Amino acid sequence: MAYLLPVVALAGLAAGTLLERRWAPSESLVVSLALQSAVAALVFGSVAGVRGEFAPPADPVFWTAMGWLVLLSTIGGYGSYLFVVRRSGATAASTLLYLTPPATALWAWAMFGQAPGPTALPGILVCAVGVALALRREVSGGRPRTPAAARTHR
């Protein structure tokens, strides 16, 4: 089950991204995020109710974590992702996901003092260059220019 959940989550993200572009909903980002959050609350609330764990803990640490999760993950993460999908397309949004590991490594360093290992900097550079090249290729029409193609366009 531990391996199945990330696969299902990834399939859901991919399907949602493609459907977002195909259907081109007219709702604002705020409305879209509110609907997604409401559906997620119903699903997870139902699961918690079935398991008999519906009441959240009264611990302030729990509520701090929930606030952090709502602000950074839902509004920051999914909101940014949805914005990029609507503005630049699924390919650009998927390409930018390659910046997640470097951003996480830098955030862990800033927040927790966990210094990146010796392979982190080369990894960050590879990710950044790869994303820059992929997005540049996307902007230029999706195909790299070859010498033969350049001669036919003169």
User: Can you give the residue ranges of every domain in the chain?
Assistant: 1-88, 90-154
28 pLDDT tier (thresholds 50, 70, 90): confident
142 pLDDT tier (thresholds 50, 70, 90): low
Distance CA 112, CA 110 (A): 6
25 pLDDT tier (thresholds 50, 70, 90): confident
Mean pLDDT of the chain: 84
Residue 12: pLDDT over 90: no
137 pLDDT tier (thresholds 50, 70, 90): confident
pLDDT digits (tens, 9 = 90+) for 93-108: 889 989 988 888 888 9
Task: Give which of 19, 38, 22, 21 is closest to 30, Cα–Cα.
Answer: 38
Distance CA 15, CA 91 (A): 13
Residue 152: pLDDT over 70: no
Higher pLDDT, 42 or 36: 42
Least confident of 20-29, 130-139, 144-153: 144-153
Please give the pLDDT value at position 133: 92
Task: Give which of 89, 88, 6, 71 is closest to 33, Cα–Cα.
Answer: 71
Please give the pLDDT value at position 74: 85
Half-sphere exposure of 140 (CA within 13 A, CB side): 11
Distance CA 7, CA 80 (A): 22
How far CA 44 is from CA of 9, 13, 37, 92, 135, in Å, comes to 14, 17, 10, 30, 36
